[in-house]
Amino acid sequence: MHPGTGIPPSPSVDPVQALYEAHHSWLVARLRRKLGCAWDAADLAQNTFVRVLGTQRQQLQELLEPRAYLTTIAQRLLSNHLRRRQIERAYLDALALLPEPVAPPPDAQLMVLETLVAIDRLLGGLPVVARKAFLLWRLEDLTQEEIAQQLGISRTSVRRHLAAAAERCYFADQA
């Protein structure tokens, strides 16, 4: 066995299976403590191992700290999960303020939520002011001058932020 992994070096034993068998229940328990929900914990643990499937088998056999590796993957998935939940809550709160006949049907709500999550993911790496400028420009249809006034920055800064956001959106398909 490799030190610390519990994964036998035998090529006949799949390292993903060995990693799963050795650490799955530990990971589910860890995620359940963080989330307080057994179902979400099981889903995130499963998604963690789905990500592990994309790892080269040789790398898995050479892992010295498999729990640290699994924790890193699971933590990223957990952050995405919590961020999505936050966006969903904000969207549902906004929907609750609408009169019922104005609220979109459930399938449209899901589509809007998926779009919001995608936009959040796209703009996530930008500075807050750049995200605000882009959203004011695209969603509120404000001019660059109006955005500059609202955010208290120069028009040149607005132009720079809009260009950075547009570039991120444009090249997202090519990444």
For residues 116 and 152, what is the distance between their CA atoms, to the nearest angstrom? 26
**Band of pLDDT at residue 24, cut at 50, 70 and 90:** very high
Domains of the chain in sequence order: 15-97 (no CATH), 126-172 (1.10.10)
Q: Can you count the helices (H) and strands (E) in the chain? A: 8, 0
Nearest to 80 by CA among 117, 54, 115: 117
pLDDT digits (tens, 9 = 90+) for 68-77: 999 999 999 9
Task: Write the CB contacts of 20 (distance below 8 Å, at least 6 apart in sequence).
Answer: 49, 52
For residues 30 and 9, what is the distance between their CA atoms, to the nearest angstrom? 27
pLDDT digits (tens, 9 = 90+) for 27-53: 999 999 999 999 999 999 999 999 998
| The pLDDT of residue 5 is above 90 | no
Task: Write the CB contacts of 2 (distance below 8 Å, at least 6 apart in sequence).
Answer: 8, 9, 61, 62, 63, 64
| The pLDDT of residue 8 is above 80 | no
- AA letter at 135: L
For residues 140 and 121, what is the distance between their CA atoms, to the nearest angstrom? 20
Q: What is the mean pLDDT of residues 89-101?
A: 79
